[in-house]
Structure 1
């Protein structure tokens, strides 16, 4: 096998293990308490792989425009979905955290961007597109695949609404990174959208304790 084919095969194996094998293992074989451990290990592996990716420069993550109209529209829609979804499914949870547990709410607002949004964005945006983007015939197809696999990564929650939200969010995060060239915009949107969902109450769907409800 020539070197180019060998490298492509290695990338396919890496990609399949990271973006298909690990999420399915977490969804069907591991307990919910393993979620952050798995994310931490994957993030460490992802950082090493990015460091070894030809042509990748960490400084590029600091570049790129922030399309504020797109972000503000997406955040307004997130807030509407959060309020409507909470009223429809868990009306007693509407703004529960800021009203009843403000200390926990503030802790989530501070830690969610650092411990959840940032690791996920590193894995699903620069690692996905910069290292494995060549496995797809076009950027457009890669963005749709990214959205699908980002949704699959949340399969452990066993909730169709979670799958739908993460698919839509994954598509927009992927588009911001791969098409608009802005990791910062994708990370900011992911972080604030998550904070909004936890604030409205719909974030209950994303608690590790909700897995397998």
Structure 2
């Protein structure tokens, strides 16, 4: 059967998207984890986030005002459940792996936690990450994504891969399951606001329990 011009064009477009997807969500994070010095991890991560925002801006049919439409519908019960689940997991992980660091940041500098971390993490980390890993992922690459739950699992996988730079099995597992839940909030509940709220409370609870020790670039030890 001869391919029509439209079919060929669609195939080329999907191939281009796959190349871009793999470069941005796979090759980029792996290269940073393998080659970048620990003190440059965050600047490079910031650069990837900016690039993601540029790609979203260039996505056909996307308008920034559309984000307002997906901001509502926050189911606060899901947010509090995310916080409670994160607290239980954090407590268990800290007890098993770093009991001496339990509540470390909160104990040493409580003012930092309340005045800087909570609003700062929400606006400077959770929000841009959700725009890149959920909005960009589901809007720009929807033509090549698997259907149903497989898309959520793939999202969790690339979110975990983005944290490979910490070279921590604990971090990779936590971010995989968190990524799946954030993707569920955005895709299934149609709410960017819910995804951001769940991400924000999870991050703040992690730091409250002292889990920041696993997300500190100064503690990165590459296995090679």
1:166 is matched with which residue?
175
TM-score (norm: length of structure 2): 0.88
Deviation at 1:13, TM superposition (A): 1.2
Mapped to 2, the partners of 1:211 and 1:104 lie a distance apart of 23
2:124 is matched with which residue?
115
Q: Point out the more displaced range, 110-119 or 178-187.
A: 110-119
Mapped to 2, the partners of 1:30 and 1:68 lie a distance apart of 39
Q: Point out the more displaced range, 57-66 or 124-133.
A: 57-66
Q: How does 1:44-83 map onto structure 2 within 5 Å?
A: 44-62=50-68, 63=70, 64-83=72-91
Mapped to 2, the partners of 1:212 and 1:119 lie a distance apart of 27
1:143 is matched with which residue?
152
1:180 is matched with which residue?
189
- How well do the aligned residues superpose, as a CA RMSD in angstroms? 1.7
Query: Could you list the per-position Cα deviations for residues 174-193 of structure 1 after superposition, in whole angstroms to 9, with x for gaps in the alignment?
Result: 01111111111111111111
Mapped to 2, the partners of 1:84 and 1:53 lie a distance apart of 42
Mapped to 2, the partners of 1:109 and 1:135 lie a distance apart of 36
1:94 is matched with which residue?
102
**Structure 2: runs of 5 or more not aligned:** none
TM-score (norm: length of structure 1): 0.92
Is 1:154 matched up with 2:163? yes
The count of residues paired between Structure 1 and Structure 2 equals 213
Q: Point out the more displaced range, 195-204 or 54-63.
A: 54-63
